[in-house]
Amino acid sequence: SKQTGKNSYFFYDDNQDAVAIEHHRMVHRFRQALAERELVLHYQPKVNMRSGRIMGAEALIRWHHPERGLLPPGEFLPAIENDAVIEDLGDWVVGEALRQVATWERAGLTVPISVNISPRHLQSPRFVERLERHLRDAGRLHQSCLEIEITETAAIHDLRHITRLIEECRALGVPSALDDFGTGYSSLTYLKLLPVHTLKIDKSFILDMARDAEDHAIVSGVIGLARAFDLIVIAEGVETTDHGLLLLALGCDFAQGYGIAPPMAADRFLEWARHWRP
Ligand code: C2E
Ligand code: CA
Ligand code: CA
Ligand code: CA
């Protein structure tokens, strides 16, 4: 009836309001968290499964919430990723990652760190300028110690802008990886246009690869594609020895996942790296 239709319309609207209020509250709380230094980066290694070499570490944000404990990004990113605070977070992450590179180096570990940059932050006109400032302050221009991870969806949303941005970052010595590859809608044409250095195969394909012929075909296809385009290809979500063996058989040497190591606090990462044997 008309009445029901109206009610459901209002129900939907109220619900949207509730979500907006909740997000607003979270943004406010998150600003405090940044100011109070409640955020911390954990690091997950990316390794060459053939040589055992550690090729990098991905920085993954965690929130030491005073009441709720250690929160993974899924608990707060959705609420803040469309607010300007996501730019402040990204800025902090870049600075923190550069400090970590230096700290590890003093401890004898040289490993580049990749940081996740959210779509909204990539759109910010000051992104490259801020990145350059951070690199300069850290004395790290053109030193290949930082990499950015961009999701496929963010990249094709504004192809011209992102293409230029990737080139500008590369000119500063910061290569780009296309994250979650395979889950978006990018065509081969987009891939050809985007000057990225690395493809990260989304973990959903890796996790199902052993029992799902289609996922196996996708993984195999992406590896072939990467080779044809002269890109590095990394598999994420490598949880088992089987995953590793399948990937090696398909020609993908680089992997990241719980089967190698989980994301770890910086000190634990250093310990892990000292004892790691493939
Ligand atoms: P992502 O960039 O795809 O990061 C990989 C996620 O997979 C991480 O979840 C990691 O802990 C998890 N993972 C690693 N190995 C395995 C595995 O073997 N199996 C499975 N099932 N999962 C694995 P996490 O840390 O919860 O991060 C979730 C997402 O939050 C990230 O996905 C990324 O999109 C976003 N994120 C994390 N840190 C940041 C950040 O500093 N800034 C921004 N903008 N986004 C971030
Ligand atoms: Ca990532
Ligand atoms: Ca990913
Ligand atoms: Ca499937």
Per-residue model confidence as pLDDT tens digits over 23-79: 999 999 999 999 999 999 999 999 999 999 999 999 999 999 999 999 999 999 999
Nearest CA to ligand 1 atom 30: 73
pLDDT at 1: 38
Of 127-131, 146-150, 153-157, 242-246, the range with the lowest mean pLDDT is 153-157
Q: Is the beta carbon of 244 within 6 A of some atom in ligand 1?
A: no
Tens digits of per-residue pLDDT, 232-263? Answer: 999 999 999 999 999 999 999 999 999 999 99
Q: Is 77 in the pocket of ligand 1 (CB under 6 A)?
A: yes
Pick the closest to residue 34 from 65, 75, 74, 3 (CA basis).
Answer: 65
Closest atom, ligand 1, to C-alpha of 42: 25
Average pLDDT along the chain = 93
Q: What is the pLDDT of residue 10?
A: 53
Q: Does 74 sit in the ligand 1 pocket, CB within 6 Å?
A: yes
pLDDT at 83: 96
Would the ipTM clear 0.85, i.e. be above it? yes
Sign of CA dihedral 101, 105, 109, 112: positive
CB count in 10 Å sphere of residue 158? 14
The pLDDT tens digits of the residues spanning 160-181 come to: 999 999 999 999 999 999 999 9
Which residue CA neighbors atom 28 of ligand 1 most closely?
Answer: 73
Q: Closest ligand to 237 CA? A: 1
C-alpha 50 to ligand 2 mean position (Å): 22
The predicted pLDDT at position 152 comes to 83
Best of 71, 116, 176 for a ligand 1 pocket test (most atoms within 8 Å of beta carbon)? 116
Looking at the CA of 184, name the nearest ligand: 3
229 pLDDT above the threshold of 80: yes
Q: Which of 5-14, 172-181, 222-231 has the lowest mean pLDDT?
A: 5-14
Strand partners, 264: 43
Higher pLDDT, 189 or 44: 44
Model confidence at 192, in pLDDT bands (50, 70, 90)?
A: confident
Instruction: Output the pLDDT for position 2.
Output: 41
